[in-house]
Amino acid sequence: MTSWRDKSAKVQVKESELPSSIPAQTGLTFNIWYNKWSQGFAGNTRFVSPFALQPQLHSGKTRGDNDGQLFFCLFFAKGMCCLGPKCEYLHHIPDEEDIGKLALRTEVLDCFGREKFADYREDMGGIGSFRKKNKTLYVGGIDGALNSKHLKPAQIESRIRFVFSRLGDIDRIRYVESKNCGFVKFKYQANAEFAKEAMSNQTLLLPSDKEWDDRREGTGLLVKWANEDPDPAAQKRLQEELKLESLNMMVHLINNNTNSAGTEVNNKNNERLDRTFPEASVDNVKKRLLPLDNGMESDDFIEKLKKVKKNISRENISSKPSVGKLGGPLLDYLSSDED
């Protein structure tokens, strides 16, 4: 299978095919800040998007890869980028290398470079919160996404798995028949952020279905952030996963050159870290990536890793500012101690 690194990104749509940025009038006053009409009946705003991301076909190298861009193209995720290889943002599915770079750069921007908020919206939509790591998506609107096509629960779960697994490594998927909704948990939060935008208002129908030609008559998937699982066992499992992810990011930090000044500077940083925090040396960190009963839950060790990560983040941020789509510098935020 050809890697996206071996080809240029595809132009997904022509500029002339893009819809107007102003939605159809449903009220008396148009709010330019929220880009929607008010003082009227909004009606059913759910729809099946005419654009869809095809990862294998559309992914490829862009100008953003050559410029060292960290963030992904939101329009690419929605299947509607008209720039292709000329785009300043990345056009591929976030992988472990991308996730490591994003984690070291900032905790308050999502994978598209948008600022997160302190709290989730009441409807659990939107960009998300920087206070908690959420890798689980709620998937609703399944009946509308299937155009009321009758399928068995196992078939519905299989389709959810098929369309979401193309967008990153999945930890767990659960379909709740009584509620006709599903939950998709990704291995990394960046993939959840990407999938939330890519799968919103998409259909679950396949080209082999007889209803495929009428898919635009459906209402599309409703993809939101999932609420936190109150089950104590799930809470404990989440804490263990966060600790493991922190350790994996630390290994990535030590083994890879994330400093734009070059490998020599990075090696000096690693030598200094080994002297200051012997526990954070490459060999010792890798030993910590053993099962949890082998010292994984050492709180002191986790805190030291966070301090190391924060120190290196400061050095990397001062070395090279990131550039936003409008050409101005984006604000760089250090990682929170609560991550």
pLDDT tens-digit series, residues 116-173? 999 999 999 999 999 888 999 999 999 999 999 999 999 999 999 999 999 999 999 9
**Which of 126, 132, 103 is CA-nearest to residue 114?**
126
Q: Is residue 330 included in any domain, yes or no? A: no
Here the CATH number for the domain that contains residue 153 is: 3.30.70.330
Give the tokens for residue 154. Answer: 């196992």
Whether 274 maps to a domain, the answer reads yes
Residue 329 counted as domain residue: no
Domain assignment present for residue 64? The answer is yes
55 in any annotated domain: yes
Instruction: Give the whole-angstrom CA distance, residue 167 versus residue 19.
Output: 25
Are residues 274 and 208 both part of a single domain? no
Say how many CA atoms lie within 13 Å of 274 toward its Cβ: 13
Last residue of one domain, picked from the residues 59, 92, 125 = 92
Q: How many domains does the chain have?
A: 3
- Same domain? For 221 and 251 the reply is no
Is residue 326 included in any domain, yes or no? no
Classify strands 136-140 and 181-186 as parallel, antiparallel or unpaired: antiparallel
143 and 196 share one domain: yes
What is the structure's pLDDT at 107?
Answer: 84
pLDDT level of residue 337 (50, 70, 90 thresholds): very low
Instruction: Identify whether residues 150 and 220 lie together within a single domain.
Output: yes
Rg (CA), the chain: 22
Q: 64 and 144 share a domain?
A: no
Q: Is the model's pLDDT at 201 over the cut of 60?
A: yes
What average pLDDT does range 16-36 have in this prediction?
A: 74
- Let me know if residue 118 belongs to a domain: no
For residue 150, what pLDDT is reported? 92
Residue that is last in its domain, among 33, 63, 92: 92
Q: Which residue has the higher pLDDT, 203 or 106?
A: 203
The model scores a pTM over 0.85: no
What pLDDT shows up at residue 8?
96
Looking at the structure, do residues 279 and 219 belong to the same domain, yes or no?
A: no
At 288, the pLDDT band (50, 70, 90 cuts) reads very low
259, 311: one domain = yes
| Co-location of 260 and 211 in the same domain | no
Same structural domain, 214 and 269:
no
Of 74, 92, 110, which one is at a domain's C-terminal end? 92
- Rounded CA gap, 106 and 335, in Å? 6
| Structural domain that includes position 212 | 136-225
What sign has the CA pseudo-torsion 9, 14, 20, 23?
negative
270 belongs to a structural domain: yes
Is residue 13 domain-shared with residue 70, that is, in the same domain? yes
pLDDT, tens digit, 9 for 90 and up, residues 226-273: 998 767 776 777 777 767 766 766 666 666 544 444 445 445 545 554
